[in-house]
Structure 1
């Protein structure tokens, strides 16, 4: 009798776990990737281009999706284009949303960005759900960088293709030497006549 009760409890626990796993898998699963790149202008100013990609890896749609990235301090950055927040009506299962904005740096220093916050609504839950993007690597804004040399591209090209260029040069020289007659053989042909 105890064995029958134990087997029933195990079966009930297994059934409960399976039903919980099935219920929790029918929700949106939001992943977000934040990346920032520095662009130095000729005037000496520097701009930061920020792109945030939002992926729904879940099995259902996320509604009322909002993105907020207020980790950029106003005293260090000015918004040049776009905005630091955006809303969408929905993000379907397997879908991707992307948002880009550009900032201009006003202060020199190393800056580490916080993750962006994504809020969304799930039809089965009353409260808004939150997800966070990846943080960015530290940016050295308005740093003193040595000027790029004009022949750096030649060095990169030689480093990448130098061995191939030398082999081709040797083959071309060999073919040239074999195909062109030497001057001494040309003089000896004239003397024989």
Structure 2
């Protein structure tokens, strides 16, 4: 009971710290880029695995970002082939509170566990000469052509001083970042990261 109480207190402090940190960053006169990368696996009748990838880029800062470029080139050509779209694109600007979305589809006939790297977003800020860089949330390992049954789960995994809320449901993989805290694991019947966060908050608060 003491261990659970201590964990609840710690994660409550983590949530408060995250909200305070986000408010402080949003209050500065600069863009604050958050990118959410998702992948959906779909087994085709041909026996191949189709991977549908989508990346949403948000500007939660107080200034527009210009010359925004996205690159998600970490997909091995030995495992995947592109069947729709491109793994990179660009936009002229990303205004405050706006979102940019990009998607593409891959196909694989190679049974493997693939570790996708975060997508890279570069952009310019009028007050800075150097090109700015941001990264998307990572994906859970993708089990291509796996024989194991898939189920709805979410995990809080500590990664380099951060907690990643990661869900896998209906062949879906994605992540939302909350800074600080310890690792914890759980299960739910939901497939969306936002709903997993709500469940966690209801349990812990």
TM range (shorter): 0.5 to 0.7
Per-residue deviation, 1:145: 5.0
Contact 1:47 1:102 in 2 (8 A): yes
- The separation in 2 between residues aligned to 1:126 and 1:65, in whole angstroms, is 15
Per-residue deviation, 1:140: 0.6
Contact 1:78 1:106 in 2 (8 A): no
- The separation in 2 between residues aligned to 1:106 and 1:92, in whole angstroms, is 40
Structure 1 or 2: more strand by fraction = 2
- The separation in 2 between residues aligned to 1:29 and 1:60, in whole angstroms, is 8
Q: Which runs of 4+ in 1 moved over 4 A?
A: none
TM-score, length of structure 1 as denominator length: 0.62
SS in 1 for 2:39: strand
Contact 1:75 1:106 in 2 (8 A): no
- Aligned pairs, number: 125
Structure 1 or 2: more helix by fraction = 1
Could you tell me which of 60, 74, 77 is aligned with 1:74?
77
Could you tell me which of 82, 86, 111 is aligned with 2:114?
111
TM-score, length of structure 2 as denominator length: 0.59
Q: What residue is the counterpart of 2:200 in the other structure?
A: none
- The separation in 2 between residues aligned to 1:111 and 1:127, in whole angstroms, is 33
CA RMSD of aligned residues (A): 1.7
Structure label with greater radius of gyration: 1
Task: Summarize deviations over 1:10-54 as a string: whole Å, max 9, x none.
Answer: xxxxxxxxxxx89x8110000000010101111111100000000
Q: Unaligned 5+ residue runs, structure 1?
A: 1-20, 147-193
Task: Summarize deviations over 1:59-86 as a string: whole Å, max 9, x none.
Answer: 0100000000011011110000000001
Q: Check if 1:136 corresponds to 2:153.
A: no
Q: What residue is the counterpart of 1:161 in the other structure?
A: none
